């Protein structure tokens, strides 16, 4: 079964009440659901389809198309390594490999203890400070391979 | 009406309707032959009327043109463009009066060869793709064959026809090379009514199903059939009949018997009315 | 405070100006995403705290202002002190007291915090003298770094909405379009379609419900000018959209902002609310009876949604799949109604054009490309950041005068413009004036203004692959040439960069590129081959080196590159050992070092730190050759 | 001139020639399709021909989700636009008289479309049970029609 139910739809109802019942609100609603639950629970997706009067298959299609949405819970801390052009030619690839080595996960995966998720993103618009790594809401610029361990800090149960 | 080919019959019928003044007509020149075609038509219909052989994969009269397979590309131009031509998808490009269409220039054939070559790499074992490739002169794909070959060419006909009928039970999921056709969460789709339109419209027969007079299974969902109360034969599922009753206002009483039993009832009525016998 | 007439507007502007003149001394702290990342929030906090403690705001008339991104992010956090006009770089909270005592209190300059010219190392205290800013002409970014985005009065004091007042009161919709036409404004999103022609088509299109859209998707990696405008001066965009709506007769507008720009969404939301409150947006704008409102729509994270028809699908809550544009959006766009869609920078230019007149804007630029263009100058260049220049300035001047030349003075190799739809231009194109026609002729594209500078340590074949991998991830997957073509093109490149290239690969790439360029449904697919074709056109020798000799001239392709230490030149400074991530360098300080080929992953970190040129790299040759040699 | 397809049940001798004519008229390369006219046989030489009544408010046209059944204004018949039909078989289920058939040989729905204005079954009917007469004489009694028939 792809996706996970969350069995607590109260927050979802509050989100739905804020939007008109039309397909145009779909992506904004899913954004709020992603922020509230840190992923898109399967039962929430069904409720959104009902709430907005959009076929479930179309909501599922939107949920899997856009990169902002995930169907499985993400880690408490989200680490994003920017792979924009400026960051790429300043060695972002090595940073991704270092995080893989240190946290033991590949891009798109979450550590077993669900403390950290690694993702790559294709440019966050801070190119003047390439290469950029974002840990949670904190942006880090000009990151070197050696800094990764310090940046991740307590966020992850780091492989020693 | 001896229909040489099904397509021709349909088009001649639409053409006759348009000559009847229902639609305004425009003149389009296809490969030197000028044809009159209704104003709302797309260039593909003009090509067909002019007898030009334009290949298509994701086109079907039942649904809106989609423009995904790019096989129907043609070159269009206008006298006032001074020789400049534009490469467009004929299934989507609206006809204009005085439009000049070339359906088999070297540039057009080259694009079609690249497209069918790419599809051959994706679906190396699909008969329809191999046959179309051979027709365009591509025997073997010049690219890397897919690790797990599939018959699905992602033409979207199945999802579009399902949307057109109404249930909208399946859709294209993921983005880019991970794109595939699937029901929500890859589970049996709750909205599916089992009408098999998706399997019927699929050009490569990729969507599998089983059906009998008792039950029908598709997308991993099993349906109970609506059986004739006399002879037990069935054509549609219960969900399908209920759906059409709800959306198209066809009373369930019309669907109680199969067609041959209904003809018998009609014959009985006619027999009672018969004057001399 | 609601403005419902021209007189009320003038009064409001007057009041706003008085408030500003009252501030004899001002401290501007940059709070754009870049500087925030470097900790400018803490710096602003420290300033606020100390100003309050020392009561400086009363005694000195001092005012602290959080502004948008000055564009010089790499040197952030940036602080500007007015009226002296001094720019301080890399300011930390503990420097605040010194700045307050020295510069604010008695006008002395804090030497160590001042910008130093990268080549001459001479201090350049004045904001206006720094070459990075001196050569710029800012139109779309006129208020960025000067106004507080969260305070509408600050924008009003700097001339905001003057263009709107003129448009609504003095000009008819056609005259507004004529003004934009006189300015010669063309779309700043990348294609350069004449804005006036687009507006006129929408104005004439039938349909009473029309839309105006601002495209803030800016998916091009390496471009962040839209972010800076949306974060730093949202009112210029709002004003532009209201003017556009008036010109085409639309009453509903959307700003589509990227999912990766959360701060822009916040600042835009605040600005829209204030604009409504002040009667500059929403019902009965400025008392002229014209209604127009704007909704902010957050993108879902898809580069393809930068394409106009995909963006409209996304606004409709659908999957971002482009539609064939055989019928233009000006006739059937959002919800099949006539729609005008322009880029953030274009809207910001519109508000300046209406305020200062079309001729004022047309003074800059070349014969066909008028006005100024914002670029994000990034990559291997000393001064990275946001610059806005008149069209027609040469690439050489941009990179070397404004950009301060190549990092560590390495040799220049290429500059990439236009993002994944653009191309890489070599040294021979450096004297090209930058405008739509010249860049397209050279095989690249203006695009959204990303300008990524590359030095000799960048492998052009790897750059082409980088864009292919980006596009494979971002392609919507609808049409065959793009979805399947990109996958196969990437497979060929992966082979080449592992030394398994075949002689006919270049021919196959060119044929596939032509098929994609002609066959794809939307601009993403049609322009996807541009990076490939431009690197093939200008750097074909690198492809030949990879394919035939299994060698990467830039030494960046790990599978093909072998690093060795030249023992006679090695001074034993031990720098390389520390830089090596896998501990592959053997040797004690002051002794000759050597690389253990077993552990070496050819990442090149040692080569980058070695100051004595004691490390060299060479091709490993094609795998079968290398295997035979072992 | 509007013509009506008239069935005079009394004359039918259930010889089945009309069924054969219809099957081959709608077949290709000699492979017969399914006959759109079906004789309900009730004893030797007694049959009732059942064929589509081309209803004005047709259930088949109403149920078709893709408008593949359209009335041909010239012949008055409802025709199947095979290009458009998605074979969901709803029309087969919905036709109250069972005159919408499933032709498994050609894997398509089959219905009487009056052969585009020249019904093939009429010339083969030995007893003129099937006629395609001008609309104004459709009501005439059978004998009168035979007297001045121009067939």
Q: Is B231 on the interface with D (CB under 8 A)?
A: no
User: Is the Cβ pair C76, A27 closer than 8 Å?
Assistant: no
Label residue C496 by pLDDT band (50, 70, 90): very high
Which of the other chains make 3 or more beta carbon contacts under 8 angstroms with chain D? B
Backbone phi, then psi, for A80, in 5-degree steps?
-115, 125
The pLDDT, as a whole number, for residue D71 is 87
Do B99 and B183 share a domain, yes or no? Answer: no
Does residue B148 sit within a domain?
A: no
The pLDDT, as a whole number, for residue A140 is 87
Q: Is A129 on the interface with C (CB under 8 A)?
A: yes
Q: Give which of C475, C10, D13 is closest to A65, Cα–Cα.
A: C475
pLDDT tens per residue, range C147-169: 899 999 999 999 999 999 999 99
Return the H-helix or E-strand segment holding C241: helix C234-248
The pLDDT, as a whole number, for residue B10 is 54
Residues of C in contact with B70 (CB under 8 A): 479-481, 519-521
Query: Mean pLDDT over residues C516-533, rounded?
Result: 94
Q: Rounded to the nearest 5 degrees, what angle is found at the Cα of C400, between the Cα atoms of C399 and C405? A: 95
Q: Dmax of chain D from CA atoms? A: 47
Closest residue on chain B to D23 (Cα): B2
Do B122 and B163 share a domain, yes or no? Answer: no
Q: Contact C188/C434 with Cβ under 8 angstroms?
A: no
Residues A82 and A113: their CA atoms lie apart, in Å, by: 24
Of A85-89, C348-352, C515-519, which range is least confident? A85-89
* Residue recorded with tokens 């680490």: A79
Q: What is the Rg, in whole angstroms, of the alpha carbon atoms belonging to chain D?
A: 16
Residues of D in contact with B257 (CB under 8 A): 98
β-pairing, A133-135 with A77-82?
Answer: antiparallel
- Residue A157, pLDDT > 60, answer no
- Residue C205, pLDDT > 50, answer yes
The pLDDT, as a whole number, for residue A160 is 46
The pLDDT, as a whole number, for residue B4 is 36
Q: Which of B168, B174, B175 sits opposite A57 (nearest CB)?
A: B168
Query: Mean pLDDT over residues D106-131, rounded?
Result: 92
Chain A: give the shortest CA distance to residue C458, in Å: 7
3-state DSSP of C545-600: HHHHHCCCCCCCCHHHEEEEECHHHCCCCCHHHHHCCCCCEECCCCCCCEECCCCC
Return the H-helix or E-strand segment holding C464: helix C460-474
Q: Is B146 on the interface with C (CB under 8 A)?
A: no
Query: How many helices, marked H, and strands, marked E, lie in chain C?
Result: 28, 18
Which of the other chains make 3 or more beta carbon contacts under 8 angstroms with chain B? A, C, D
Instruction: Output the six-digit token pair for C542.
Output: 């690198």
Residues of A in contact with B184 (CB under 8 A): 45, 56-57, 59-60
User: Is the Cβ pair C379, A90 closer than 8 Å?
Assistant: yes
Q: Contact B184/B230 with Cβ under 8 angstroms?
A: no
Does residue C137 sit within a domain?
A: no
Does residue B8 sit within a domain?
A: no
Do B130 and B98 share a domain, yes or no? Answer: yes
* CATH code at position C225: 3.40.50.11540
- Domain boundaries along the sequence of chain D: 3-145
Q: Which domain holds residue C577?
A: 558-629
Closest residue on chain D to B22 (Cα): D73
Chain C: give the shortest CA distance to residue B22, in Å: 24
Does residue C144 sit within a domain?
A: no
3-state DSSP of chain A: CCCCCCCCCHHHHHHHHCCCCCHHHHHHHHHHHHHHHCCCCHHHHHHHHHHHCCCHHHHHHHHHHCCCCCCCCCCCEEEEEECCHHHHHCCHHHHHHHHHHHHCCCCCCECCCCCEEEEEECCCCCHHHCCCEEECCEEECCCCCCHHHHHHHHHCCCCC
User: Is the Cβ pair C473, B143 closer than 8 Å?
Assistant: no
Chain C: give the shortest CA distance to residue B45, in Å: 16
The pLDDT, as a whole number, for residue B3 is 32
How many domains does the structure of chain B reveal?
2
Q: Percent of chain B having pLDDT more than 70?
A: 90
Q: Which of C326, C485, C512 sits opposite B88 (nearest CB)?
A: C326
**Whether D and C touch (3+ CB pairs < 8 Å), yes or no:** no
The pLDDT, as a whole number, for residue A137 is 83
Contacts of C559 (CB under 8 A, 6+ apart): C497, C498, C499, C620
The pLDDT, as a whole number, for residue B6 is 45
Label residue D79 by pLDDT band (50, 70, 90): very high
For chains A and C, count residue pairs whose Cβ atoms are closer than 8 Å: 159
Of B25-39, C75-89, C248-262, which range is least confident? C75-89
Q: Percent of chain B having pLDDT more than 90?
A: 81
| Dihedral angle over CA of C11, C15, C20, C21, nearest 10 | 90
- Residue D11, pLDDT > 50, answer yes
User: Is the Cβ pair B274, D113 closer than 8 Å?
Assistant: no
- Residue D141, pLDDT > 70, answer no
Of C132, C161, C176, which closes a domain? C132
Query: Mean pLDDT over residues D17-42, rounded?
Result: 92
Residues D66 and B200: their CA atoms lie apart, in Å, by: 14
* Residue recorded with tokens 């952030």: C76
The pLDDT, as a whole number, for residue C629 is 64
User: Is the Cβ pair A125, C218 closer than 8 Å?
Assistant: yes
The pLDDT, as a whole number, for residue C212 is 97
Is C239 exposed, middle or buried, given 0-12, 13-18 or 19+ CB atoms closer than 10 A? buried
ipTM score for this prediction: 0.90
Residues of A in contact with B169 (CB under 8 A): 55, 57
Do C378 and C358 share a domain, yes or no? Answer: no
Q: Which domain holds residue B90?
A: 27-135
- Residue B2, pLDDT > 60, answer no
- Residue B259, pLDDT > 70, answer yes
Query: Mean pLDDT over residues C253-268, rounded?
Result: 92
Residue C427 DSSP one-character state: G
**A77-159 — its CATH code?**
3.40.30.10
Do C449 and C465 share a domain, yes or no? Answer: no
* CATH code at position C398: 3.10.20.600
* CATH code at position B111: 3.10.20.740
pLDDT tens per residue, range A86-142: 888 888 888 898 888 888 899 988 888 888 899 998 888 888 788 899 988 888 888
Query: Mean pLDDT over residues C78-96, rounded?
Result: 87
- Residue B277, pLDDT > 50, answer no
pLDDT tens per residue, range B96-125: 999 999 999 999 999 999 999 999 999 999
Closest residue on chain C to A69 (Cα): C300
* Residue recorded with tokens 């290949």: B55
Q: Which of B60, B248, B267 sits opposite D62 (nearest CB)?
A: B248
**D3-145 — its CATH code?**
3.30.70.20
Do B130 and B180 share a domain, yes or no? Answer: no
SS3 C426: strand
- Residue A158, pLDDT > 60, answer no
- Residue C210, pLDDT > 90, answer yes
The pLDDT, as a whole number, for residue B87 is 95
Work out the mean pLDDT of chain D and round it to a whole number: 87
User: Is the Cβ pair B191, A61 closer than 8 Å?
Assistant: no
Label residue B8 by pLDDT band (50, 70, 90): low
Which of the other chains make 3 or more beta carbon contacts under 8 angstroms with chain C? A, B
- Residue B1, pLDDT > 50, answer no
Does residue C219 sit within a domain?
A: yes
Q: Is D13 on the interface with B (CB under 8 A)?
A: no
Does residue B141 sit within a domain?
A: no
Q: Give which of C464, C456, C466 is closest to C554, Cα–Cα.
A: C456
Identify which has the larger pLDDT, B60 or D151: B60
Do C202 and C69 share a domain, yes or no? Answer: no
Do B130 and B65 share a domain, yes or no? Answer: yes
Query: Mean pLDDT over residues C50-69, rounded?
Result: 80
The pLDDT, as a whole number, for residue B5 is 42
How many Cα atoms are found within 13 Å in the side-chain-facing hemisphere of C74?
25
The pLDDT, as a whole number, for residue B96 is 93
- Residue B189, pLDDT > 80, answer yes
**Measured CA distances, C624 to C258, C296, C357, C541, D131 (Å):** 47, 57, 67, 21, 84
Closest residue on chain B to A64 (Cα): B174
What is the reported pTM? 0.91
Residues C484 and C478: their CA atoms lie apart, in Å, by: 10
- Residue D24, pLDDT > 60, answer yes
- Residue C596, pLDDT > 50, answer yes
- Residue A153, pLDDT > 80, answer no
Do C268 and C184 share a domain, yes or no? Answer: yes
Do B184 and B262 share a domain, yes or no? Answer: yes
Q: Percent of chain C having pLDDT more than 90?
A: 54
Does residue C587 sit within a domain?
A: yes
Label residue B275 by pLDDT band (50, 70, 90): low
Identify which has the larger pLDDT, A129 or C334: C334
Q: Is B228 on the interface with C (CB under 8 A)?
A: no
Does residue C44 sit within a domain?
A: yes
How many domains does the structure of chain C reveal?
5
Q: Rounded to the nearest 5 degrees, what angle is found at the Cα of C134, between the Cα atoms of C130 and C136? A: 130
Which of the other chains make 3 or more beta carbon contacts under 8 angstroms with chain A? B, C
Do B199 and B114 share a domain, yes or no? Answer: no
Residues of B in contact with A58 (CB under 8 A): 168, 171
Does residue C597 sit within a domain?
A: yes
- C-alpha torsion sign, points B190, B191, B194, B197: negative
User: Is the Cβ pair B70, C521 closer than 8 Å?
Assistant: yes
Determine the residue among B159, B160, B169, B171 to mutate to test chain A binding: the one whose Cβ has the most chain A Cβ atoms within 10 Å.
Answer: B171
pLDDT tens per residue, range B190-223: 999 999 999 999 999 999 999 999 999 999 999 9
Work out the mean pLDDT of chain C and round it to a whole number: 90
Does residue C541 sit within a domain?
A: yes
Return the H-helix or E-strand segment holding B9: helix B6-19
User: Is the Cβ pair D82, B9 closer than 8 Å?
Assistant: yes
Residue ranges with strand state E in B91-195: 99-102, 171-173, 180-182
Q: Percent of chain D having pLDDT more than 70?
A: 90
Do C329 and C471 share a domain, yes or no? Answer: no
Identify which has the larger pLDDT, C72 or C473: C473
The pLDDT, as a whole number, for residue C155 is 92
**Measured CA distances, B196 to A43, B187, B218, D50 (Å):** 27, 17, 8, 29
- Domain boundaries along the sequence of chain A: 10-65, 77-159
* CATH code at position C80: 3.40.30.10
Does residue B1 sit within a domain?
A: no
Do C183 and C230 share a domain, yes or no? Answer: yes
């Amino acid at each position: 079964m792809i996706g996970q139910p969350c069995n607590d739809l109260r927050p979802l109802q509050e989100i739905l009440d804020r939007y008109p019942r039309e397909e145009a609100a779909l992506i904004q609603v899913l954004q709020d659901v992603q922020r509230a639950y840190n992923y898109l629970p399967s039962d929430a997706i069904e409720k959104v389809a009902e709430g907005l009067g959009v076929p479930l298959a179309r909501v599922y299609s939107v949920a899997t198309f856009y990169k902002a949405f995930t169907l499985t819970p993400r880690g408490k801390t989200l680490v994003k390594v920017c792979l924009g052009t400026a960051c790429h030619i300043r060695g972002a690839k090595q940073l991704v490999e270092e995080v893989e080595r240190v946290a033991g996960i590949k891009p798109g995966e979450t550590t077993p203890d669900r403390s950290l998720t690694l993702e790559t993103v294709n440019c966050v618009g801070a190119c003047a400070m390439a290469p950029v790594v974002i840990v949670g809401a904190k942006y880090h610029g000009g990151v070197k391979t050696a800094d990764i361990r310090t940046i991740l800090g307590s966020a992850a149960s780091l492989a020693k | 009406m001896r229909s040489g080919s099904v397509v021709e019959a349909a088009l001649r019928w639409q053409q006759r309707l348009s000559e009847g003044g229902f639609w305004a007509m425009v003149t389009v020149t296809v490969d030197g032959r000028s044809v009159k075609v209704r104003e709302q038509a797309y260039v593909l219909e003009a090509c067909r009327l002019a007898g030009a052989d334009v290949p298509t994969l994701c086109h079907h009269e039942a649904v809106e043109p989609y423009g995904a397979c790019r096989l129907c590309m043609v070159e269009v131009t206008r006298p006032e463009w001074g020789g400049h031509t534009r490469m467009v998808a004929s299934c989507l490009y609206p006809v204009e009066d005085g439009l000049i269409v070339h359906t088999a220039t070297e540039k057009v054939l080259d694009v079609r060869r690249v497209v069918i070559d790419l599809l051959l790499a994706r679906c190396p074992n699909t008969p329809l793709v191999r046959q179309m490739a051979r027709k365009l002169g591509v025997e073997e794909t010049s690219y890397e064959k897919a690790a797990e070959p599939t018959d699905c060419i992602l033409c979207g006909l199945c999802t579009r026809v399902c949307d057109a009928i109404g249930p909208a039970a399946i859709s294209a999921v993921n983005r880019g090379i991970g794109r595939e056709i699937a029901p929500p969460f890859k589970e049996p789709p709750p909205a599916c009514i089992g009408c098999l339109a998706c399997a019927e419209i699929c050009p490569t027969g990729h969507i599998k199903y089983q059906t009998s007079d008792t039950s029908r299974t598709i997308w991993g969902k099993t349906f109970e059939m609506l059986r004739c109360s006399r002879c037990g034969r069935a054509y549609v599922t219960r969900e399908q009949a209920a759906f059409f009753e709800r959306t198209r206002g066809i009373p369930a009483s019309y669907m109680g018997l199969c067609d041959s039993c209904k003809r018998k009832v009609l014959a009985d009525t006619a027999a009672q009315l018969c004057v001399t016998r | 405070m609601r403005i419902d007439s021209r007189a009320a507007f003038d009064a409001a502007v007057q009041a706003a100006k008085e408030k500003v003149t009252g501030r004899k001394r001002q401290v501007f702290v940059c709070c754009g995403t870049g500087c925030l990342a470097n900790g400018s929030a803490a710096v602003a906090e420290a300033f606020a705290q100390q100003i309050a403690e020392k009561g400086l705001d009363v005694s000195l008339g001092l005012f602290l202002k959080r502004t948008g991104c000055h564009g010089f992010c790499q040197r952030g956090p940036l602080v500007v002190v007015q009226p002296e006009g001094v720019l301080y770089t890399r300011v930390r909270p503990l420097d605040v007291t010194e700045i307050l005592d020295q510069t604010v209190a008695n006008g002395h300059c804090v030497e160590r915090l001042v910008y130093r010219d990268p080549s001459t190392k001479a201090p350049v205290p004045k904001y206006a003298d720094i070459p990075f800013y001196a050569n710029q002409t800012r139109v779309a970014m006129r208020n960025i770094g000067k106004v507080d985005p969260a305070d509408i009065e600050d924008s009003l004091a700097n001339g905001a909405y003057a263009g709107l007042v003129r448009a609504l009161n003095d000009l008819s919709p056609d005259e507004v379009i004529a003004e934009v036409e006189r300015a010669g404004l063309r779309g700043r999103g990348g294609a350069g379609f004449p804005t006036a022609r687009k507006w006129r088509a929408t104005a004439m299109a039938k349909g009473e419900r029309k839309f105006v859209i601002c495209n803030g998707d800016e998916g091009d990696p390496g471009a962040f000018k839209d972010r800076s405008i949306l974060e730093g001066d949202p009112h210029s965009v709002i004003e532009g959209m209201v003017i556009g709506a008036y010109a085409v007769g639309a009453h509903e507008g959307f700003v589509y902002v990227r999912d990766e720009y959360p701060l822009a969404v916040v600042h835009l939301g605040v600005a829209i609310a204030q604009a409504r409150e002040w009667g500059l947006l929403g019902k009965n704008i400025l008392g002229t009876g014209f209604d127009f409102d704007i909704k902010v729509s957050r993108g879902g994270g898809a580069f393809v949604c930068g394409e106009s028809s995909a963006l409209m699908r996304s606004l409709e809550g659908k999957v971002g799949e482009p539609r064939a544009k055989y019928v233009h959006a000006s006739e059937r766009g959002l919800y099949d109604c006539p729609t005008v869609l322009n880029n953030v920078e274009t809207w910001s230019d519109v508000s300046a054009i209406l305020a200062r007149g079309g001729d004022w804007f047309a003074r800059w630029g070349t014969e066909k490309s008028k006005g100024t263009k914002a670029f994000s100058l990034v990559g291997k260049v000393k001064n990275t950041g946001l610059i806005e220049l008149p069209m027609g300035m040469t690439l050489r001047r941009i990179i070397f005068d404004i950009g301060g030349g190549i990092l560590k003075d390495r040799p220049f190799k290429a500059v990439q413009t236009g993002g994944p739809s653009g191309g890489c231009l070599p040294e021979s194109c450096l004297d090209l004036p930058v405008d739509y026609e010249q860049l397209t002729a050279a095989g690249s594209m203006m695009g959204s203004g990303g300008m990524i500078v590359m030095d000799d340590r960048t492998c052009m074949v790897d750059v082409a692959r980088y864009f292919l991998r980006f596009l494979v991830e971002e392609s919507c997957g609808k049409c065959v040439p793009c979805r399947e073509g990109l996958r196969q093109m990437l497979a060929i490149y992966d082979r080449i960069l592992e030394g398994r290239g075949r002689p006919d690969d270049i021919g196959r790439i060119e044929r596939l590129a032509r098929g994609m360029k002609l066959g794809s449904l939307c601009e993403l697919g049609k322009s996807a081959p541009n990076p490939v074709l431009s690197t093939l056109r200008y750097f074909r020798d690198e492809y030949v080196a990879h394919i035939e000799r299994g060698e990467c001239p830039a030494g960046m392709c790990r599978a093909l590159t072998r690093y060795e230490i030249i023992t006679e030149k090695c001074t034993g400074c031990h720098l390389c050992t520390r830089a090596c991530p896998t501990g592959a360098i053997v040797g004690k300080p002051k002794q000759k070092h050597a690389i253990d080929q077993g552990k070496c992953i050819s990442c090149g970190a040692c080569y980058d730190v070695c100051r004595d040129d004691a490390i060299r790299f060479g091709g490993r040759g094609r795998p079968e050759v290398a295997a035979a040699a072992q | 001139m509007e013509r009506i397809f008239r069935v005079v049940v009394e004359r039918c001798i259930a010889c089945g020639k009309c069924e054969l004519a219809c099957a081959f008229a709608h077949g290709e390369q000699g492979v017969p399709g399914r006959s759109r006219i079906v004789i309900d046989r009730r004893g030797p030489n007694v049959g009732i021909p059942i064929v589509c009544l081309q209803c004005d408010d047709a259930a088949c046209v109403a149920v078709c989700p893709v408008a593949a059944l359209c009335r041909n204004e010239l012949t008055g018949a409802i025709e199947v636009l095979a290009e458009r039909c998605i074979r969901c078989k709803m029309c087969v289920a919905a036709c109250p008289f069972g005159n919408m058939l499933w032709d498994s040989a050609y894997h398509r729905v089959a219905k009487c479309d009056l052969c585009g204005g020249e019904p093939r079954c009429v010339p083969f009917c030995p007893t003129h049970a099937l006629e395609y007469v001008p609309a104004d004489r459709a009501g005439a009694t059978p004998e009168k029609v035979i007297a001045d028939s121009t067939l």
